[in-house]
Structure formats: C-alpha cells, structure tokens
Amino acid sequence: MRLATRLVSPLALLAVLGSFATAFATSTTLVIGEFRTRGPNGADDEFIELYNVSTSPFLIGGWTVHASDNAGNTVELGMVTGGIVVFPGCRYLFANPNGYSGSVAPDQWFTTGSIPDDGGVSVQNGTIVMDAAGMSPGSAYGEGTLLAPLTTNVDQGYERKPGGSLGSGQDTDDNATDFQLISPSDPQDAASTCHTTTPARGRTWGELKLLYR
C-alpha cells in the first residue's frame, strides 16, 4: 500500500527525535547486564554489571564505566584493572562504595561519582561507547526508547533480557526492548555462575563486519 506524503514541521521533527537516544554500535563483546541507580540504602546504593555476550574469553583491562546526568555531563566511574579476562556468559561487577547493599561483593568499586536517577550509564573501550542505557533524553548515554528513572529506595534494578539463568544477551539497540525491571535486583560478579544464551542482534553480521573492519 502506498502511503501519502505528509509535510512535518522542523519543530515537530525535533520533538520526535528528542524522545529517542543515540544508537551506538551493537556490542559483540561486553554489554551492560544489569544496573541500578539507587536501592534500599538510598541514592548511592548502585551498581553496574557487565556481561560477556561473545563465545570467547575477552580481555577488558582498561575498559571504563561512565555515568551521565540529564544535561549530558559525564563522569568516569571506574576503570577495569589491567589483565582482567571475562569468559563467555560471565560477568564483572562495579558498585558504589558509599552505599552498595548487594549480597554479592563487587569485583571493583567506583572510584569517583555516582549515577543520577535521570541520567545514563555506559561501558567504553577507550573513547568508543560499547553499550549504553539511559533514563532521560538529555543524557549522553542511551539507545532507542529510554527507561523510566528509578526514584524509590527499594531493591530493584534494570536487567538485560532474557534474564536470570538465560543470561543477558539481547541487544537490539533499544533500551526499553532490551531491559526489564526486576525486584529484587540480582547483581552478579566474576565468581557467579556463567550463563550462555543466543544473543538477539540489532544488526546483521555483515553490518557488524563493516563496523569493525
């Protein structure tokens, strides 16, 4: 069926675009498996869990996790210690030393800053954003349709689907599609059980080869 062409004003177009975040390249290595911006201990009860979606061990020493506020200001929360390897379906956990209440000990603590409720988070290899999740259009980080801010001090977090024992391999470059709210939250570290799953990709392998050539 042929659709009629309609004229859209520049202001209307900007309003539509403002509701979506920048789409970064689909990661073939590490993604954000789960995160939260606050918990039972308040605004600093937060963590970022990384998950290896590949089928090979991956060296992540020097990779960094970042946070953004709702105005696009960013801070490096921490850097992975040199020599760290994450195996397929395994995780690596960062947490805030000023409030984290999870029962699983983090692999590393944040060295500075925290995650604003209406901001965003990312994992980066140098200056390349490998994966991101956002809670406001003004955040520097986020993919597709964004997530609702977590504003209450309860034990909950955003977990990447499928979730649980099925792993966290879904990556369609759309935060609202890829993440689900779970309660209680389930942070896991490098010593936790590893899970493998078939990732849901947002791009074809041919497109990915072009991106990483």
Write out pLDDT tens, residues 160-210. Answer: 999 988 999 999 999 999 999 999 999 999 999 998 765 554 443 333 333
pLDDT at 20: 41
- Residue 5, domain member (yes or no): no
pLDDT at 28: 79
Number of independent structural domains in the chain: 1
Give the domain extent around 117: 19-211
- Residue 106, domain member (yes or no): yes
Work out the number of other CB atoms within 10 angstroms of the CB of residue 2.
4
Q: Give the mean pLDDT of 19-28.
A: 52
- Residue 7, domain member (yes or no): no
- Residue 4, domain member (yes or no): no
Write out pLDDT tens, residues 70-105. Answer: 999 999 999 999 999 999 999 999 999 999 999 999
| CATH number where 168 lies | 2.60.40.1260
Q: Is the pLDDT of residue 5 over 80?
A: no
d(CA 43, CA 153): 7
- Residue 6, domain member (yes or no): no
- Residue 9, domain member (yes or no): no
Which residue's structure tokens are 């998950």? 51
- Residue 41, domain member (yes or no): yes
d(CA 29, CA 55): 9
Work out the number of other CB atoms within 10 angstroms of the CB of residue 95.
27
CA dihedral angle for residue 144, residue 170, residue 116, residue 98, rounded to 10 degrees: -170
